[in-house]
Amino acid sequence: MRQIGSGDIGRVYLCSLRGDDDSSFYAMKVVDRQVLAAKKKLQRAEMERKILKMLDHPFLPTLYAEFEASHFSCVVMEYCSGGDLHSLRHRQIQKRFPLNSARFYATEVLVALEYLHMLGIIYRDLKPENVLVRSDGHIMLSDFDLSLCSNTIAAVESPELSPDPPTPADARSPRTTTPFFCISNRLFRSKKIQTLTRNRLFVAEPVTARSCSFVGTHEYVSPEVAGGKSHGNAVDWWAFGIFIYEMIYGRTPFAGDSNEATLRNIVKMPLKFPTSMAASASETQARDLISGLLLKDPEIRLGSRRGAAEVKTHPFFKGLNFALVRTLKPPDIPMTNARFPAKNAMMFDCF
């Protein structure tokens, strides 16, 4: 029907089935394999197709079809008519979300990251532009061409946990885990999971996956990536901290005048929060969570060892039933034209 987005390795089109009377719309990503081969980026498109075939989750894309035409590869997925969180944030008062709205979006992103990590997938490109909003107001993570996919996921049992929520000091202290076996992606559903003792967490987390590639958006890359070091799953938890910060405060914490300045700030500058107003109790909890996620040492960063199960226990998410988050009412339900989506309803920006 028309082009709705473009990026580094392809274009996205709004589509419908010819002769379809129910006005169902789809997003079709089209990549030119010859162009990608010349740019040595063909592997990125193949990685995204591989990951899309693995996904089955309400906050992740549904792949409806894939096909090739001449030297073009096409994937047909669900269309999100509500735009992305970057554009939605800019429509808010002071260009930032109310704390409850930020917590809602953070919760759904956290659940999506947990699922990806259980499949051995490190996302590596979390940012508001890649968090799309469906017509019902719930989110969908998009674009997986920068993701890292591990063949094995370390299954770890955490040390015994206190029934009380962790204190801010606990969140920043070094943590240890006891690995008891590794499970393969292909055999995940057939493996028996060991029964754990009370107050212990089972975690399937790609803690052993490593990469030395520099990938991601500058304001969201972790210190280990900015410093040219190898990285693993902890990069997603760093990006999650930047994401929450931007949702609440309307900007990222380490942005500089140039990409080089931003990377220097990420590596060297301490984390700071706005001081223009007194923080409420809920915002204090949010700041504590962000501080734990934005620890520059990936070895002690919140979530790096016990994954989403550890992040979920933070007081910022107290009272949420993660199993029923899909039933929560979104803070804002985007309005769309049922007959034809708005021209600027959704843009893809990270091929």
The Cα–Cα gap between 301 and 297 comes to 6
Return the higher-pLDDT residue of 187 and 270: 270
Spans of all domains in the chain? 2-78, 85-327
Query: Which residues does the annotation mark as catalytic?
Result: 125
Per mean pLDDT, which range of 11-15, 30-34, 121-125, 206-210 is the poorest? 206-210
| Nearest residue to 334 (alpha-carbon basis) of 137, 131, 95 | 137
Give the dihedral of Cα atoms 214, 216, 221, 226; nearest 10 deg: 20
pLDDT, tens only, 122-155: 999 999 999 999 989 999 999 998 998 876 565 5
Q: Read off the pTM.
A: 0.82
Which has the closest alpha carbon to 265: 274, 273, 254, 253? 254
Domain 85-327 maps to which CATH number in 1.10.510.10, 3.10.450.50, 3.40.630.30, 2.160.10.10?
Answer: 1.10.510.10
> Do residues 122 and 154 lie in contact, with contact meaning Cβ atoms separated by under 8 Å?
no
Q: Is the pLDDT of residue 113 over 70?
A: yes
Q: What is the pLDDT of residue 272?
A: 95
According to DSSP H, which parts of the chain are helical? 33-39, 42-54, 85-90, 99-118, 168-172, 223-226, 234-249, 259-268, 281-293, 307-312
- Read out DSSP for 101-152? HHHHHHHHHHHHHHHHHHTTEE----SGGGEEE-TTS-EEE---TT-EE-SE
Q: What is the 3-state secondary structure (H, E, C) of 144-175?
A: CCCCEECCEEEEEECCCCCCCCCCHHHHHCCC
Tell me the mean pLDDT in the region 193-210. Answer: 56
Question: Quick one: average pLDDT of 217-243?
Answer: 92
Domain 2-78 carries which CATH code? 3.30.200.20
pLDDT of residue 4: 85
Q: Between 8 and 140, name the one with better pLDDT.
A: 140
Tokens of 330: 């979104």
With bands split at pLDDT 50, 70 and 90, how would you rate the model's confidence at 348? very low
pLDDT, mean over the chain: 81
Does the pLDDT value for residue 345 go beyond 50?
A: no
Query: Hunting for tokens 């590794």 — which residue is that?
Result: 182
pLDDT 10s digits, 157-189:
555 444 444 444 444 444 444 333 344 444 344
The more confident residue out of 247 and 338 is 247
